[in-house]
Amino acid sequence: MLPTIDLVAPSLPSWVDQEKESRLVPDTPAFTHAYTNSTAHGIPQIALSPAQGKFTSLLASISGAKNVLELGTLGGYSALWFAQAIKGRGGKVTSIEINKERRDVAIENLEYAGVKVPEEVEILLGAGLDVLPRLAEEIDQGKRERFDFTFIDADWDNQAAYFDWGVKLSRGKGSVIYVDNVVRQLLEIGAVGAAEKDTTLENLVDTVAKDDRVEAVVMQTLGSKDMDGFLFAGLK
Ligand SMILES: C[S@@+](CC[C@H](N)C(=O)[O-])C[C@H]1O[C@@H](n2cnc3c(N)ncnc32)[C@H](O)[C@@H]1O
């Protein structure tokens, strides 16, 4: 049997993130400020890591995304990465945040980074399930373009509903839906692991597996933020 990572090098995930990823994702004043200013305002440190931010930004970039939809702005760290990915393509990042103070700090952080708000990144205040139908109306009325890349990073209880909205608001074949933290969610609802199983809670992976509008995969991740994983889906 292969030794587990714990036995080989317990500090390996953090070492890779801190010592190796930092060579590829060097600190810049804009991204560092987004972290430090958020912390100074008491915002919890639950943003993507620099490696995750760059990875999602690269995915948006190589998929040719023009318009990005984000659920969960926090202090605007991931939105800043997406703004970088789509810069010059004539689209924008539309991010939804339920908490007004976080929305205000995110605007501060994006403007500090030189991002035009709301032209390049628009932050809509409200609960995802209230805001998404309004976006659908605006798309139907021709006031808003469809999305090429949807990033779901909020409110685990409604992930499946957000996924469905993401598909409905997407441009079509090749559009991407990325759902963060799905492995942690599986652990939390007791779908795997020692936790008592709560069958009333939804398991997003099983829901998406039955969804014939998309092809999807779950990628497990290990890093300084412990073990987790994301669901990555492309519209057929
Ligand atoms: C994990 S954080 C987002 C991190 C951010 N994407 C980043 O990496 O920089 C989740 C955010 O979603 C927000 N949120 C929670 N429930 C929400 C809801 N129902 N609608 C919109 N935003 C929500 C929280 O206030 C929190 O700021």
Q: What is the tens place of the pLDDT at every residue in 165-197?
A: 999 999 999 999 999 999 888 888 777 766 666
Q: State the total domains in the chain.
A: 1
Band of residue 26 on the pLDDT scale cut at 50, 70, 90: confident
Residue 229 pLDDT > 90: yes
Q: Is residue 1 part of a domain?
A: no
Length reported for the chain: 236
Q: How far apart are CA 17 and CA 39, in angstroms?
A: 20
Residue 8 pLDDT > 70: no
Range of the domain at 219: 11-235
For residue 14, what pLDDT is reported?
79
Report which ligand 1 atom has the smallest distance to the Cα of 77.
Answer: 9
State the number of CA atoms in the 13 A half-sphere of 82 facing the CB: 30
Q: In CATH, what number is assigned to the domain containing residue 57? A: 3.40.50.150
Cα of 73 vs centre of ligand 1, distance in Å, is: 5
The values of phi and psi at residue 107, to 5°, are -60, -45
Pocket test for ligand 1, best of 96, 97, 132, 185 (most atoms within 8 A of CB): 97
Q: Is residue 72 part of a domain?
A: yes
Mean pLDDT of 54-71: 98
Band of residue 81 on the pLDDT scale cut at 50, 70, 90: very high
C-beta of 81 in contact with ligand 1 (< 6 A): no
| Minimum CA distance residue for ligand 1 atom 11 | 72
Mean pLDDT of 69-91: 98
User: How many other β-carbons are positioned within 10 Å of the β-carbon of residue 28?
Assistant: 12
Q: What is the pLDDT of residues 141-158, one digit of tens each?
A: 999 999 999 999 999 889
Residue 202 pLDDT > 70: no
